[in-house]
Structure 1
Amino acid sequence: MSAIESDKIFPLLQELCALPGPTGQEEAVREWLRRRWAPRAAEWHEDAVGNLLCRIGGSGPRLLIQAHMDEIGFVVRYITSNGFLLLDTAQGPRRQSPDRRYMVGQVAQVVGRHGVVAEGVFGAATGHVLTPQQIDKAHIDYDDFFVDIGARSRAEAEQRGVHVGAGVIWSWPARRFGTRIAGKAMDDRALLAVMDLLLDELDPQALQYELWFAATIQEENGLHGARALAHQHRFDAMLALDVGLVGDVPTVQEKEYDARLGGGPTLVHKDSGVHYDKRLLWRLADTARAADVPFQHGVYANYGSDAIVFIDHGTPAVLVGVPCRYTHTAFEMIEESDIVATVALLKVFVTTPA
């Protein structure tokens, strides 16, 4: 198995996860990837909707490896007269999102027209000022919290570049806890890091495929970037890389999710949207076994990946997950060894004859 140094993984994740990239505002992530990947690719282009597509090299069946650029976030729906920002989810129907339970007390970044324009805190009524009704309320909703950027008026907030429709994300720098790394936007920056590390490891002359990389927009709100890419391009096989679900925390039973941090990448058989291609999945499994790379099997609920739209367009596809705790929070946690194992599996797979 490839011996990627851990002191290379953490700085890479720190840099990638720090980039602001809420759904629909992926520009900073795309520009970072373009600078990293374009000089090492045989060709690259950005399509009309903002997907980045690179041909890495090689010949043979056309294989796409893909991850998405956007991160979980919110949008400003209203600015009060005294400068507070009221929010809505960036991911789904209005005011319908499970992510609100993890908000209060986190540091916020507001992403305006040209990037981050303000920082603040996700606030709510707390402590002494809570009413009995608020204390007894079982679930908070989008009228129970807000972002406080320290503005004294709506005009002051707008002068800073805040506007209705601006993106709002967590500001939680990646931290190392032993061999685990936690931070915001591991979904899906950890997998973009896997692709970047894989590119470092590859000799294009050894490729057994015509290998393509794609970094896509707007996965979190409906797989839109991947859908546009699948409509425009044809591939013989596709590997979607995303965070994987685990059952190794006290409040989630292993019988629900038979995967854990440190067990290697998860090959997903099905999720809420699709059964993944069995032939391709078992080729990955056989490749991992032959190379002595650890891996896990998975069946996911409440989940869908960009691979779905490629299957819908006739391309065999598989979801490969890097195990992750606390998904869709500011403190998503991964294990370094799973990054190493995922890179190793992909390297062996793309250099083994199809």
Structure 2
Amino acid sequence: MELLRRLSEASGVPGREEEIRKLIREALVDHVDEIQVDRLGNLIAHKKGPGPKVAVAAHMDEIGFLVSHVDEKTGYLRIEPLGGFDPRTLIAKRVTVHTRSGPLVGLIGTKPIHILTEEEKKKKVEMKDLFIDLGLPGEKVKELVRVGDPVTLRQGFSEVGELVSGKALDDRVGVYVGVEAMRRLSQHQADVYFVGTVQEEVGLRGARTSAFALAPEIAVALDVTLACDMPGVQEHEYITRLGQGVAIKLKDSASISHPGLVQFLIDLAEEEKIPYQLEILPRGGTDAGAMQLAREGAAAVTLSVPTRYVHSVVEAAHKRDIQAAIELLVAFLARCHQADLKL
């Protein structure tokens, strides 16, 4: 899991995915026929085949921030979110501010409980209340930091029992699954494109442009999904469970999966004895939503890695589920030319 560790610990907010592009290129350069980067920043790796044309997408970007204001007197920074945050998860976290002259470590601070009023204790935390402390005088901060500098959360990648945990598993674990599948795929008829997409967290933007350019017949998104198998959640709200296998998505807010692809994946998983579960996500979407609508449309589906604590720095996925996702994707790409796409 060394590659997954490196992907998780790397930084790449929407629009600034260059570190992730470099890692993917290094991992795939000896395993694909060609690699290119389009104008938006999507990395497209191609394994040639007679057809059908298949695009497999996993987004490279992570939720993060841009510096929106630098206080010249105090040195404190204000931030603009890129992607969806629960502000409660951000209190007392370390961040990296990526400046022109190099990275700076910062702290998201808050007033200590000792001086909070009763009214302040009851107040809901909001993004506008958060600030970053770089531990430097205001004039030095003004010299080093400018509005628009990216900010990412800091967190090491760890193995926790049977799980792996870290920041940005959404969607570096999807990138990892896609890269590993491309490296293992040998016998295939499909014309396969793996796309590391950009700006998914702010509107599926990279998937939209890359799918328009590639015009795939089949589109597969790789992403995390919610695993809410935890205290305080009723069983019917779990969505998925850790350790029960890769999730084959039926529906989310952005797409309805092609029924022929869903059944083909189910049949493959059962034939190959790959653990799987079916998923309906009531809120949220993946790159499949954009790829499905490209040009005249594509038959689309999402393979998901169940993940706890999504959009936090302790996102957690089960090693068996990650392995199941890789195995099912490899099996699918090797045999997807046999799938019945007629409706």
The Cα shift of 1:113 comes to 4.3
Q: Which amino acid aligns with 1:126?
A: P
The Cα shift of 1:98 comes to 4.0
Residues 257, 300 of structure 1: 8 Å contact kept:
no
For residue 132 of structure 1, what is the aligned residue in structure 2? 118
Q: Which amino acid aligns with 2:54?
A: L
For residue 17 of structure 1, what is the aligned residue in structure 2? 8
* Whole-angstrom CA distance in 2 between matches of 1:251 and 1:106: 25
For residue 149 of structure 1, what is the aligned residue in structure 2? 134
For residue 341 of structure 2, what is the aligned residue in structure 1? none
For residue 193 of structure 1, what is the aligned residue in structure 2? 176
For residue 47 of structure 2, what is the aligned residue in structure 1? 56
Q: How does 1:68-217 map to 2 (within 5 A)?
A: 68-80=59-71, 81-91=73-83, 97-113=84-100, 117-137=103-123, 139-153=124-138, 155-160=139-144, 162-203=145-186, 206-217=187-198
Q: Where does the alignment leave 5 or more consecutive residues of structure 2 unmatched?
A: 339-343
Q: How does 1:21-32 map to 2 (within 5 A)?
A: 21-32=12-23
* Structure 1 residues 132 and 167: alpha-carbon distance in aligned structure 2, compared to 1, 3 A threshold: same
The Cα shift of 1:281 comes to 1.2
Residues 243, 321 of structure 2: 8 Å contact kept:
yes
For residue 4 of structure 1, what is the aligned residue in structure 2? none
Q: Which amino acid aligns with 1:66?
A: A
Identity within the alignment, %:
33
Q: Does 1:220 align with 2:211?
A: no
State the TM-score, normalizing by the size of structure 1. 0.91
For residue 327 of structure 1, what is the aligned residue in structure 2? 310
Aligned length: 334
Per-residue deviation, residues 43-98 of structure 1 (Å, max 9, x unmatched): 1210011001111233320111110000011121111121111112112xxxxx54
Q: Secondary structure of 2:200's partner?
A: coil
Q: Secondary structure of 1:109's partner?
A: strand
Q: Does 1:45 align with 2:36?
A: yes
* Whole-angstrom CA distance in 1 between matches of 2:288 and 2:118: 47
Residues 268, 299 of structure 1: 8 Å contact kept:
yes
For residue 234 of structure 1, what is the aligned residue in structure 2? 215
Root-mean-square deviation (CA), in Å?
Answer: 1.5
For residue 66 of structure 1, what is the aligned residue in structure 2? 57
The Cα shift of 1:158 comes to 3.2
* Whole-angstrom CA distance in 2 between matches of 1:257 and 1:278: 23
Residues 57, 207 of structure 1: 8 Å contact kept:
no
Q: Where does the alignment leave 5 or more consecutive residues of structure 1 unmatched?
A: 1-8, 92-96
